[in-house]
Structure 1
Amino acid sequence: MTTYKGACFCGAVEIETAGEPEAMGYCHCASCRSWSAAPVNAFTLWKPQNVRVTKGAERIASFAKTDLSHRQYCNSCGGHLMTEHPPLGLVDVYAATLAGLDFAPGVHVNYAETVLPMRDGLPKLKDFPAELGGSGVAVAE
């Protein structure tokens, strides 16, 4: 089984994923943009059992603005690691965190909130896919 390793900015916390992500894409919501201090966030979604902290678990802090997203970061350097999505049963390990992962996005979510239009031919969803509780409505590129 393929494993990918990642770490926070200072290296105090290390994580590992096993297998392949359930999905990869871009999120354009205001919360992800604010949290990442970027115009868009590249996500990789994993089943919780396929993500583990291999070093520095005691340094992980968490912030939950909503019940949907429990964002985790290193309390030493502030480096972002992942977001647990309990209602979805998935963990978003930020694509930039995983060295060696061939990021192959398949969708844009929350595209109705975009501040960085991206013309890449991928599906653009107004919010989330219907199977994850969203409308599933596509919007124009």
Structure 2
Amino acid sequence: MNDTATYQGSCFCGAVQFTVNGKPEGMGYCHCASCRRWSAGPVNAFTLWKPDALRIIRGAEHIATYNNTEHSYRKWCTNCGGHLFTEHPHWGLTDVYAAVIDDFPYEPGLHVHYMESKLPMKDGLPKMQDLPKEMGGSGLSAAE
């Protein structure tokens, strides 16, 4: 993955278009109930970026926000309902959902909140009971 690469992404209908530049700070799978409900799937593939790596290039007026807690500001397109990203101000990171970035070389590094999993995945990646210590979690591993 190139430190200077630019990747394009969009919502489901294309009304919101954006780019991310460089390399993400981390990538993986989240199994928490909040991400599962938001994504309407059994697991969410995340890419974490510094906020300045994300640039909205079209359709900013179509972006709405919902926050269940002060830790996650979830963004979606008001035109199609397509999910885009989640701002995590307490970490200084933005989760741009891997599925909405075109041609992105997604390389997950771990699973977080694996104790909440509804879709066990035997892929050899580290499994965390909650989050790594540096992100405020216990840092404890879970069995695959």
Q: TM tier, shorter chain? A: over 0.9
Q: Distance in 1 between matches of 2:68 and 2:115?
A: 20
Partner of 2:124: 121
TM-score, normalised with respect to structure 2: 0.97
Q: Distance in 2 between matches of 1:114 and 1:12?
A: 33
Q: Distance in 1 between matches of 2:60 and 2:119?
A: 34
Q: Structure 2 counterpart of 1:40, which letter?
A: V
Percent of residue pairs identical? 60
**Where does the alignment leave 5 or more consecutive residues of structure 2 unmatched?**
none
User: Structure 1, residues 42-88: CA drift from partner, whole Å, max 9, x if none?
Assistant: 00000001011110001100000011110000001000000000101
Look up the SS of the partner of 1:71 in the other structure: strand
Q: Distance in 1 between matches of 2:140 and 2:72?
A: 22
Q: Runs of 4 or more off by more than 2 Å in structure 1? A: none
Partner of 1:74: 77
Partner of 2:66: 63
Q: Distance in 1 between matches of 2:64 and 2:94?
A: 15
Partner of 1:42: 45
Q: Structure 2 counterpart of 1:32, which letter?
A: C
Q: Structure 1 counterpart of 2:78, which letter?
A: N
Q: Structure 2 counterpart of 1:38, which letter?
A: G
Query: Which of residues 18, 28, 47 in structure 2 aligns to 1:15?
Result: 18
Q: Structure 2 counterpart of 1:30, which letter?
A: A
Q: Distance in 1 between matches of 2:88 and 2:95?
A: 7
Partner of 2:89: 86
**Where does the alignment leave 5 or more consecutive residues of structure 1 unmatched?**
none
Look up the SS of the partner of 2:69 in the other structure: coil
Q: Distance in 2 between matches of 1:71 and 1:26?
A: 17
Look up the SS of the partner of 1:99 in the other structure: coil
Q: Distance in 1 between matches of 2:89 and 2:105?
A: 26
Q: Distance in 2 between matches of 1:34 and 1:122?
A: 23
Q: Structure 2 counterpart of 1:26, which letter?
A: Y
Q: Structure 2 counterpart of 1:42, which letter?
A: A
Partner of 2:55: 52
Q: CA RMSD in A?
A: 0.5
